[in-house]
Amino acid sequence: MKNDGKKLEINFVNVINGKTYKDLPYGIKGNLKHMYKYLDDGDLIKSELVEGANKADFYIEIKGDRKYISLKTGTATTVGTYGLKNFIAYLRSKGISERTLKIIVYMHFGDGTLDNTGKKRYCFEDFRRGKESLVEAANEELNKSKEFIKDIVHRVVFRGFYEDNVEANYIYHGTEEQGYCCNFRQVCKQIDAKKWSYIRNLHIGPIQFSPVARYADMDVLDDSKRWGVRFFWIGLQNEVERIGRSFRYQYDGYITLAEREANKAKVEGEKKKRKKKASEK
């Protein structure tokens, strides 16, 4: 992550760590109701950065219940990177055909080869011209299974490809003052209800992918970036906000506002009973 992104994470943690729930900024305070079933004003918030190359940037812990958060800000769309060879091996393990795998590699390098040895490198738009049927055929296979799309979204956005990654429980897009959050189960509902057939690039559901650096019509500055895959989700900010609004009054997308309000009334009633008993002594 870029240094400015790390600064935002540090600032976010510093703003909320050690605060009580009632003293939190409006944005994160409202979103915590999505993450935790019941919260009291006096609940103490603990938050720390998650170091290393993980999908989670920091965690929030309340009453021993820890949630790992991936922080997204602004209009940034990149959601992960991975080595091309490892990505192809992963797709092969999921049953993707060799024909589609070759199309992915061929379009990835954009130099007319399958091994990055071409003399001229093209931008994707120019290289795709006349090869639209190849991209369409690959996209058809890559997007025919909703379960496969969910698996990729989970890996790229929440879990990561490496077994020792710390998985993010929630994406939070915004700042501590204003933002929206969603979890994987909520994203799955969006995947079930939506199609991405309008995307002309190679994609798996909302996740598009390209070289980390294409170096079209210029010298290659770092060849490893030609062998790296960058995953991006165009419109991520709008998607997280749409999902966040859909579940604004529900914990985790499942516990309704009515149930939470009923519990709140029950707690308040019990407090009044305790006060009454204390005053009668």
What count of other Cβ atoms lies within 10 Å of the Cβ of residue 262? 11
In a domain, 68, yes or no: no
Residue 111: which domain range?
A: 78-162+194-230
In a domain, 253, yes or no: no
Q: Positive or negative, the Cα torsion across 244, 55, 236, 179?
A: positive
- Residue 239 above 80 pLDDT? yes
For residue 92, tell me if it sits in a domain: yes
pLDDT of residue 1: 40
Judge whether 21 lies within some domain: no
Residue 225 confidence (pLDDT): 92
Give 14-55 pLDDT, tens digit per residue: 999 999 999 999 888 888 988 888 899 999 999 999 988 789
Q: Strand 179-183's sheet: what is its strand order?
A: 45-49, 58-62, 65-72, 170-174, 179-183
- Strands of the sheet containing 207-211, edge to edge, are 78-83, 228-232, 207-211, 203-204
Instruction: Give per-residue pLDDT as tens, 49-102.
Output: 998 878 999 999 999 999 999 999 877 788 999 999 999 999 999 999 999 999
274 located within any domain: no
Report yes or no on 200 lying in a domain: yes
pLDDT single digits (tens) 130-155? 999 999 999 999 999 999 999 999 99
pTM: 0.82
* Helix ranges restricted to H, 2-130: 3-16, 26-35, 84-93, 98-109, 124-128
Domain-located, residue 23 = no
Look up residue 257 and give its two tokens: 């506002």
pLDDT for res 49: 96
Q: What is the pLDDT of residue 198?
A: 87
Q: What's the pLDDT band for 197 if we cut at 50, 70, 90?
A: confident
Q: Which amino acid is at 214?
A: R
- For the chain, what is the domain count? 1
| pLDDT average, residue stretch 109-135 | 92
**C-alpha span between 252 and 57 (Å, rounded):** 20
* 46 located within any domain: no
Q: What is the pLDDT of residue 265?
A: 78
Estimate to the nearest angstrom the gap between the alpha carbon of 24 and the chain centroid. Answer: 24
